[in-house]
Structure 1
Amino acid sequence: MPIVNIQILEGRPASKVKALISRVTDTVAEELEVPKERIRVLVTEVPKTHWGIAGVPVSDTPGR
């Protein structure tokens, strides 16, 4: 059973996350030749205060 873990920054619309899950499932099913029913996709939304780039939280980065 393929399990795909995806971590993204918080703030995207639920519709985008739903589309991501669907497309990732389709791709994994096609590439690994497994039924979609066997695939699990876990999307974790990380708060911008908990995601650092170059030692700085994204929440403290202008324009993010």
Structure 2
Amino acid sequence: MPIVNIQILEGRPEEKVKELIHNVTETVSTTLGAPKENVRILVSEVPKTHWGIGGISVSDMPNR
């Protein structure tokens, strides 16, 4: 049973997260020959205050 963990920044629309789950499931199923019902996708949304790039919190970056 393939399990895929994905971490993304918070703030994306629910529809986009569902689309991500669908597309990753399709890709894993096709690539590994695993039935879709056996593929598990876990999406964790991380607050921008808890994600850092280059020593700076994403919440402090312009345009993020």
Q: Does 1:29 align with 2:41?
A: no
TM-score, length of structure 1 as denominator length: 0.99
Tell me the number of residue pairs that the alignment of Structure 1 and Structure 2 aligns.
64
TM-score, length of structure 2 as denominator length: 0.99
Aligned residue in 2 for 1:57: 57
Post-superposition offset of 1:56:
0.3
Structure 1, unmatched stretches of 5+, are none
Aligned residue in 2 for 1:47: 47
Q: 1:63, 1:31 → 2: CA distance?
A: 35
Moved over 2 A (4+): none
Post-superposition offset of 1:53:
0.2
Structure 2, unmatched stretches of 5+, are none
Post-superposition offset of 1:63:
1.1
Pairwise CA RMSD of aligned residues? Answer: 0.3
